[in-house]
Structure 1
């Protein structure tokens, strides 16, 4: 059933939906057509009153054109947002792709003042580029405390591994967003850091008491709220000690009693995407939207069926299940939030020299490296594991991780999810080295927590592979891009003579800085920094 523009109640309800769209202008370039609406459906829904769009994919220049086109299809100011937790360039080519937040969390343990200053610059850079692209709402900061190294979905997206660091840096990031004139969003309430499963795939359970939540999970959200964060996103996880029936997104105990009541948050509450398996496995699109709105959410993000969500909420209001005052309060909060955004900036949305300098400084500040001698040139294997389809933004034909070792004499072999497995059935020697060829091996691992991947990457025996290569005297060097937990695990079995390095970021700038150091004479390299125990 399609919502009708002539129905005043449905038009008002439609304002509270945020639907998914590609950042590309043309339908045929959609990367995820199962979630990204066609232009025809987008135009129809925006004409019918839908009030928000979340975007992914394309270039920063294309995004600028895209946001203008979307706004032209609506007679109201739209909420235009993106998951740009690591800078606009994380999702849109050509803008600044910054190191993951946990990089600054690790720096905060050594130099808190520098980390907080950089976090605020990080937020301002993200906001300013977002606004130049036509976005007015950044879905960050992540306020989850990543105190579980096995977390497959938060991981380096968090600003810290303990509450004080996470709160201080999330608040600094939010101050930067506000100075840059866009809305921010603290997520994922009440805290997704201490889980070992991915809510994109299933429903995680957080077994903690209210007292424990007050000690660990809540402080970063309180810090972000105190810093003026405009919205809070819910988490699709079950807290049996608080509400054994419904996940946080659908729980009035969590959203109304805790977030509104105990934490005193008066801004917008937005659901995490309702297309995630934690919700769709248990509820249809209308039911999920009604339950979320009834529980206290103001905005419905990515419903599985926008028309069904609008009709379901409208019917619940018309029948008296949900008071009309809830609708009016949500609309008021939306208007008040939009009144705080600054208009889009004119000009190209490309990084300024100051933003380029910030990209480089963040990488340099977060590198960890250790070597007694550089990796000598010669014929060998540049073995790369990438935790995505290949090519991808971190690794394409121009990536330094490919061409710098090749200039040094190393032949590149890329392992990815759709490629040939490098493993053999031997726990002591898991790499099938005869498939790779002869010579020393430079091992580069692009592995971090990523949504939808679950346990796949963590099950790979890289510790045993590193030991195997060392026994055979074939490990020329090791670089880990992404997970600090994998880096710590592999570093513990690494011989001191092996050149080794870590970057939380996977972007080309991180590759360039690390490889320029490890493949050159130490006197010409970056100053070696070691932040590990």
Structure 2
């Protein structure tokens, strides 16, 4: 039964380096669980080089084939510095509406890139694609992680990703079943309710999962949400009608079913660690991901088997599905077979730049005259503030304007508020300083925050800067919904750029697109920014 548990560990090697000690087990505990037979580890944090060492270490501790996974929905570089960081999936969903064949081809290459990078680090399980349909812009937890805003787009692109990632010798995972797209609350902090009929689920939520299953996806992850039409008592993760009735029997999925993290508040707020694990297995899950207490989960499963509540045959079938999945993976020695890692990374770097350029949008004019240097006003939303990779000291959004004489004013969760009390002119202009203002907004839907984007009055602020003749340009990184809200407010002659990606590569390209009128262009945009 130990092998049906997947625990969380840091990608960093030393205990004191753990970024989330509450969730990431210390090394002595992690090693003890692996030696006892725990079957998988989900990793977060560390550089690509560190994670490669970590995967080797974990396999040595386990002494058996191990599932090693990560939430790398935007390429492995999203989580592990040094690997390839790609634009969010929803960027391709929007491209699909204009150029469907190009989007499909890019989605498959996206999967190949993610799989190559993961396999090169020693990971064998990518927790993606997100198959949720983000048809609710207010969704704080799915948002730009989805491949589309309608089922046809989401399904086609997710299936293309599955084909790409699994061709690289790693497992894919369609999530969050049966669909977390049409919620306005976050299951990390509460239990969302999806009050849809079976007919509506069949029309909107289920098709992307069906397409991923048809593409051969190795695993499906559950969603922590209530579906009263299917089960009035328990969330989908713990629901037999959802996991066994709908996913196994109705949709015919024969691969691994894994829970979303049971440590999330949607579950821990209602169930103990042991009971949640038993309920998930009773419902039809094969793997229990991140129980709040691994020892309590293991003990509760053992007790449930002893009492007859869980059938041994069912757990043996889950263990067999796990072994069959592992047999689909390229072995860990494949990562060592890369003769020239730098040459192997070239296709990934080419793809990263191609994706940034293909999904970027512009508005307004690049302008003919370079204004005087002014204020580089950057809003970094609170979730991104914790991810220093977005705005390192060398990040183009900071470094390029500063090299041209612009003064940076960075607003993030701990910064002094730039807001006054006037709702029509909300910026306290005296706090900005004089001169033209380049506005760069890093905003996207993120888990744990409880909102889909900035709740700040940027439309009014944009109008205020325009009225004062101080708006020099606008760049929105991340949220297409904020861009769509602000784009119509750009005055004639003021350039605007939308970039789905927020990484340094995207910043360099966005500032290049903003135009020579601001003096921020660079003939080598994109060069050297492949983080």
TM-score where L is the length of structure 1: 0.94
CA positional deviation for 1:520 = 2.0
Residues 1:378 and 2:366 are matched in the alignment:
no
Q: 1:209 to 1:500 in 2, by over 3 A?
A: same
* Secondary structure of the structure 2 residue equivalent to 1:352: helix
Provide the residue aligned with 1:159 in structure 2.
Answer: 147
CA positional deviation for 1:441 = 0.7
For residues 210 and 15 of structure 1, the distance between their equivalents in structure 2, rounded to whole angstroms, comes to 34
CA-to-aligned-CA distance 1:303-346 (integer Å, 9 cap, x gap):
00000001111111110011111101100100000000002311
Provide the residue aligned with 1:438 in structure 2.
Answer: 434
Provide the residue aligned with 1:9 in structure 2.
Answer: none
Provide the residue aligned with 1:231 in structure 2.
Answer: 219
Kept in 2: contact 1:199–1:236 (CA 8 A): yes
For residues 31 and 338 of structure 1, the distance between their equivalents in structure 2, rounded to whole angstroms, comes to 29
Provide the residue aligned with 1:311 in structure 2.
Answer: 299
For residues 349 and 337 of structure 1, the distance between their equivalents in structure 2, rounded to whole angstroms, comes to 27
Provide the residue aligned with 1:358 in structure 2.
Answer: 351
Provide the residue aligned with 1:22 in structure 2.
Answer: 10
Provide the residue aligned with 2:409 in structure 1.
Answer: 413
* Secondary structure of the structure 2 residue equivalent to 1:15: helix
Provide the residue aligned with 1:481 in structure 2.
Answer: 477
Provide the residue aligned with 1:404 in structure 2.
Answer: 400
Provide the residue aligned with 1:453 in structure 2.
Answer: 449
Identify the range of structure 1 (420-429 vs 40-49) with the bigger mean alpha-carbon deviation.
420-429
Provide the residue aligned with 2:390 in structure 1.
Answer: 394
For residues 324 and 66 of structure 2, the distance between their equivalents in structure 1, rounded to whole angstroms, comes to 13
Kept in 2: contact 1:64–1:349 (CA 8 A): no
* Secondary structure of the structure 2 residue equivalent to 1:54: strand
Residues 1:57 and 2:45 are matched in the alignment:
yes
For residues 48 and 481 of structure 1, the distance between their equivalents in structure 2, rounded to whole angstroms, comes to 45
For residues 172 and 366 of structure 2, the distance between their equivalents in structure 1, rounded to whole angstroms, comes to 45
CA-to-aligned-CA distance 1:191-224 (integer Å, 9 cap, x gap):
0000001100101111100100000000000000
Kept in 2: contact 1:389–1:418 (CA 8 A): no
CA positional deviation for 1:263 = 0.8
* Secondary structure of the structure 2 residue equivalent to 1:73: helix
Provide the residue aligned with 2:122 in structure 1.
Answer: 134
Kept in 1: contact 2:88–2:501 (CA 8 A): yes
Runs of 4+ in 1 over 3 A off after TM superposition: 347-351, 521-526
1:503 to 495, 499, 504: 499
CA positional deviation for 1:389 = 2.1
For residues 275 and 170 of structure 2, the distance between their equivalents in structure 1, rounded to whole angstroms, comes to 32
CA positional deviation for 1:173 = 0.3
Kept in 1: contact 2:140–2:452 (CA 8 A): no
TM-score where L is the length of structure 2: 0.94
Kept in 2: contact 1:390–1:396 (CA 8 A): no
For residues 521 and 477 of structure 1, the distance between their equivalents in structure 2, rounded to whole angstroms, comes to 9
CA-to-aligned-CA distance 1:158-215 (integer Å, 9 cap, x gap):
0000001100000000000111000000000000000001100101111100100000
Identify unmatched segments of 5+ residues in structure 2: 524-531
Provide the residue aligned with 1:369 in structure 2.
Answer: 362
Provide the residue aligned with 1:42 in structure 2.
Answer: 30
For residues 341 and 354 of structure 1, the distance between their equivalents in structure 2, rounded to whole angstroms, comes to 22
